[in-house]
Amino acid sequence: MELCPKCGTWIRFGLVSCPRCGYAVLYMNKDRILSFMECLLIRERSEERRRILKDRISAEVIDISGDIATLECAFPKFEEGDVVGYVTGEHVIEPLGTVISGGRFLTVNIYGQHRLKEGLRIDLCEAEVLIGYDLQLDLVRRIRSGELGDIERQAITY
């Protein structure tokens, strides 16, 4: 327990604001707010991952040419501009790329390295929201370790 610096009320451990005056205790301690944000992001990412895994669809890799893949889906779900991922054997969602052409036959612009081969069957799912959570978690890690550049440091300081 600690005292609220504004009104002097005792604040139980785990609360983020004073129950009497509403003072936001988190802003007093950088490590505390980063830990709070990290836990919140991890929980939200986990819940989103669970939802995404329920909505996955089966697809077959038809053709790969450079960083472009053509996939045949069990049914049309993805549209142009969607960010898709695939589910690995360990139920990890790996980002795959951005849909260039949607429908039953998808054309996907692949991000970086991949393990796809023609004829491979994979489970596709939405990945955009998870990438957003991963970027936010990486930012928290970089703030903690002091790896931010000058412009990034200014953005979070002001």
Residue 156 has pLDDT above 80, yes or no: no
- Asked if the model's pLDDT at residue 135 lies above 70, the reply is yes
Comparing 26 with 15, the larger pLDDT belongs to 15
Asked whether residue 158 carries a pLDDT value surpassing 60, the answer given is: no
The answer to whether residues 70 and 120 belong to one domain is yes
Domain that holds residue 153: 2-49+133-157
- Do 60 and 116 have their domain in common? yes
Give the per-residue pLDDT at 27.
59
Domains identified in the chain, total number: 2
Same domain for 36 and 60, yes or no, is no
CATH classification at residue 112: 2.40.30
Chain segment 27-40, per-residue pLDDT in tens: 567 787 788 889 99
By the 8 A CB rule, do 73 and 59 touch? yes
Q: How is residue 2 written in tokens?
A: 């600690």
Separation CA 11–CA 23 (nearest Å):
10
Query: Greater confidence, 23 or 140?
Result: 140
**Sequence-separated (6 or more) residues with CB below 8 Å from residue 111:** 95, 96, 97, 98
**How confident is the model at residue 19, as a pLDDT?**
86
Alpha-carbon gap, residue 3 to 11, rounded angstroms: 6
Are 88 and 94 a contacting pair, CB within 8 Å? yes
